[in-house]
Amino acid sequence: MSAEATVEGLAKELSTYLDTNRINQVRRAYYYAEQAHEGQMRKSGDRYITHPLAVAHILADLRLDHQSLMAAMLHDVIEDTGIPKDALAEQFGDDVAELVDGVSKLTQIEFRSRAEAQAENFQKMTLAMARDIRVILVKLADRLHNMRTLGPMPYEKRQRIATETLDIYAPIANRLGMHSICTELEDLGFSSLYPMRSKYISKAVDKLRGSHREIIEEIRGKLQEKLEERGLPGRIQGREKHLNSIYNKMKFKQKSFHEIMDVYAFRIITDTEDDCYRILGAVHSLYKPLPGRFKDYIAMPKANGYQSIHTTLFGMHVNIEIQIRTEEMEHIANNGIAAHWMYKSDPSSVSNANQARVDRWVKGLMEMRERADDSLEFIEHVKVDLFPDEIYVFTPKGKIMELPSGATPVDFAYAIHTDIGNATVACRINRNLSSLSQPLQSGQTVEVITAPGARPNPAWLSFVVTGKARSSIRHVLKHQKRAESLELGKTLLKKSLKGFGTRLADIGDVQVQAVVSHNQVNSLDDLIADIGLGNRMAYLVARQLVTGAESSPIAEVAEEVHGSGENSPVTIRGTEGLLVRFASCCKPIPGDPVVGMMDSGKGMVIHSDTCSRLPEDDEGRARLTHLKWAKDIADEFSVELRVELERQRGVIAEVANAIAMADGNVERINVEEQNAKFSIVSLVLHVNGRRHLARVMRRVKNIRAVTHIGRVRH
């Protein structure tokens, strides 16, 4: 069949929903592409133009608009034939040129790794999607035709393309609600990656279908009878299980092939939403429904706009899965966002809500893209969002929020707004105070409690599940860490400069620039932040600033040991944040003499100055920072006590009570048995300084059974 005939075949298909003028524009794009690709062949030996034509056919099945079809014809022109975008814009208008540019295979830059190459491309794809969602529809059709014709490709390339399809393109098709394209991409990807497994499962499925035919026909007959008896319109279809989904269920849900296949699946398609619920009543009167297996996605559509009623029945000694939906829901379930163009003329249509959903998702992707530091981090966040198993929760005002399963109140807070997530301090689930890390269940009402000036907690990263929450928290923590490392670095540098009898303001720009270049950093701020992080020594930087960048490090350390102006201790408040930590070995509290030890990349760790973990030698001691406590510390600090006491009934409770009376807060009590008469108890409690600790110890000492009490310093 000549190419001429096939483009006419396409024109015939398009005439069912496009006017002649638009069909002629698509035809013109075809002839333009045919000329541009003249002489180019595909690996299969076909003329290259067969590929753009096939992509246009796929989009015509989805009934897409004429501009998308023109872009499908021209999508490889910029890349493969050197025709510039401007020339296309002149011929076919800006919209089409933009689409072609967006789809045009994302230029191959040299990347350090394949994962990064994909990630980089994915970022570009998101940008293109944000401008016009049709870009991704043309790209998906392009990928689908490439997957159908993978055969002649070399093995390595086949594996790479199939993996990328399963990792990125199939989930995107699913997220856009395009079920039929998604399942075909998955099955093609699966048979490319695992040809033997695919062949084996497909043979087993065919064999089983043969032996099940009678039961299927009998169930279908009974369902049909019941609908006719009640006068309900509805066509009943059998549903095929797809190879990839069978394989995944066997692999991840540890189910046997027969367990999966012993379920008989039907779909009933009817006229109106009202009929859906009547049919549900009818099938439930025919067979018993299985408890816990009913889902109403009509009232609560999935994130990708999918709507349907799902129920599982038990009849004729087998499980029967039934989906009930209207014709429009069926079309949207198969074609998702692409259905939008079919229903464009009807503004009340379901698919407009669908479009709003997709817009929201793409907007969310753009936000994450801005926050992620690199493309790999971005793709990690997005992969989480592409595989949602949704739960539905309510805001206190009754608005429904959809979240992936396993989502926590912190994910919920970020889903409402980034600022609300950042300021979250607590939450109520169904009006009761609850933990921020508790996974939410469908149907719960969630209320977030915020406080001005609150900040995300690094521990949240261990339990949040949405990409938006994870990227927002990381973003804030990075900025917070940067601000705090600058703050701490400045304090330490000022102190060291004071030892040299100078101030930062007194040092000239040329000298500062020389030190910055010598240390191979971009700016003085970067150098100061490095000091705060513990990656550089404040004394050495101060010395370079005072005496010039080229001084010898050995002389510096020697001189530092012999006196570097250690007369002015740095003040600490206990609330410095991420970069000042209290050592767990000696648990210092306000009032204890303390010193700071820099820990590379992590900031300063504060130890009691008698701690056994501190360096013994002069050089090591010289690197410590002398600290003093601020006057007005209100925070609580952890401290460990060792109490020896005579064994009596209720004596532990008495000790705990005495601590509570002195406003101490017990974190842990551990009884180390000694003998029949005496016990040794180790306590970890929170106090807000040495005076408070003395008060607690006095109270405990007053208990008659206590023979000795002391503070533990490891």
Which residues are catalytic, by number?
79-80
> What span, in angstroms and rounded, lies between the C-alpha atoms of 23 and 17?
10
CB–CB of 342/368 below 8 Å? no
Backbone angles phi, psi at 340, to 5 degrees: -55, -40
The three-state secondary structure class of 244 is helix
> What span, in angstroms and rounded, lies between the C-alpha atoms of 40 and 603?
60
* Beta strands, E only, 186-229: none
The three-state secondary structure class of 390 is strand
> What span, in angstroms and rounded, lies between the C-alpha atoms of 23 and 390?
41
Closest CA to 545 of 578, 591, 514: 514
The three-state secondary structure class of 607 is strand
Give Cα separations from 641 to 98, 124, 270, 680, 697 (angstroms).
71, 58, 73, 10, 9
Alpha helices in 372-508 (DSSP H): 375-386, 409-416, 418-422, 467-499
> What span, in angstroms and rounded, lies between the C-alpha atoms of 553 and 145?
64
Alpha helices in 323-408 (DSSP H): 327-335, 339-342, 350-371, 375-386
Question: Which pair of structure tokens corresponds to residue 671?
Answer: 């009884």
> What span, in angstroms and rounded, lies between the C-alpha atoms of 341 and 64?
6
Give the count of beta carbons closer than 10 Å to the beta carbon of residue 462.
8
Q: Residue 175: in which H helix or E strand, if any?
A: helix 170-175
DSSP state of 578: T
Backbone angles phi, psi at 604, to 5 degrees: -110, 135
Angle at 94 between CA 92 and CA 100, to 5 degrees: 75
> What span, in angstroms and rounded, lies between the C-alpha atoms of 388 and 382?
11
Q: Which residues contact 5 (CB under 8 A, 6 or more apart)?
A: none
Question: Which pair of structure tokens corresponds to residue 635?
Answer: 């925070």
Sheet holding 432-434, edge to edge: 432-434, 424-429, 446-450
CB–CB of 427/476 below 8 Å? no
